[in-house]
Amino acid sequence: MASVAKVIIGTRGSSLALWQANWIADRLRAAHPGLDVRLAIIKTQGDRIVRTALPDIGGKGLFTKEIEDALRAGKVDFAVHSLKDLPTDVPEGLNIAAFATREDPRDALVTAQGLALADLAEGASVGTSSPRRQAQLRAARPDLRFVDLRGNVETRIRKMREQGLAATVLAMAGLNRLGIAGVGIQPLDPEVCLPAVGQGILAVETRDGDGRVSGLVAVLDDGDARACAIAERTVLSGLGGGCQVPMGALAEVGENGKLRLRAAVASRDGARIIRVEMHGNADAAQELGETAARALLDQGAGEALLSCGASPDSLGSA
């Protein structure tokens, strides 16, 4: 493809967001020699409101709306998001043109001593604002006490230490991308804590009809990541689509091209967790996600979702 003068990527300004945008930029430059790729940092509502737990802020697109506004207005050519931050309803006029290769999708328990979940002291304090993480960890360890903790990766680790918390919970993908490793990090088994929908996948969002940019970013798309993203996001969409729904999902493509999809919905207190597991072809990812969402609702997931503030009208759309 002939080189193009310049493209501008819209991104948040955290160290992780910049790492992700630069990672995408480097791959575009390698694929399209001579392409001038630049970053535009955009502050979102989720970045501005840092002292309130995310479920209390409400609304969708807390970390994406302002970037999408800039994309629609033509101020940037495309946007790079952590897929787990992107609502299932992509705004009119925009689309996800590429799903980049997935990093480790698991959550991780971060402690000063490198303790596993089972090794935390009775009644230990864990810092996380995520209803999904709190509910699943409560199910495994009902004795734990949870403290709302907001901020980027480095901020949450610092706050954990300053506040004397036993642990915090972060995404392995972010830790790996920032090069944060060591004995203090213990990946959580998805059987205990299923990750957020799309965790570890980067989404490249473009304007509809922009063939120039869509053609450039097509090289970034990973077929396995796309199938997993579609399956997981379809489950979430069938359950109402909110990023703060206390549910997790993980799709994995096997060597034979088969897709394994696990999904769970929890009550806020973790007293009840409904789990399903589905298997099918990767090229039928949407249908597999729809089946999983229906199975969760058939087993009573709607009651748990309603108790967490979901709208009755949003359920059963899968």
Instruction: Write out the catalytic residue numbers.
Output: 85
| Backbone φ and ψ of 74, nearest 5° | 80, 15
| Backbone φ and ψ of 218, nearest 5° | -60, -30
Q: Is 58 left (phi over 0), alpha (psi -120 to 50) or beta?
A: left
**Nearest-angstrom CA–CA distance, 164 and 143:** 18
**Nearest-angstrom CA–CA distance, 310 and 241:** 9
DSSP of 123-181, one letter per residue? T-EEE---HHHHHHHHHH-TT-EEE---S-HHHHHHHHHHTT-SEEEEEHHHHHHTT--
> How far apart, in Å, are the Cα atoms of 136 and each of 195, 247, 265, 306, 318?
10, 9, 9, 17, 24
The amino acid present at 120, given as its one-letter code, is: L
Q: Which two tokens stand for residue 229?
A: 């993203």
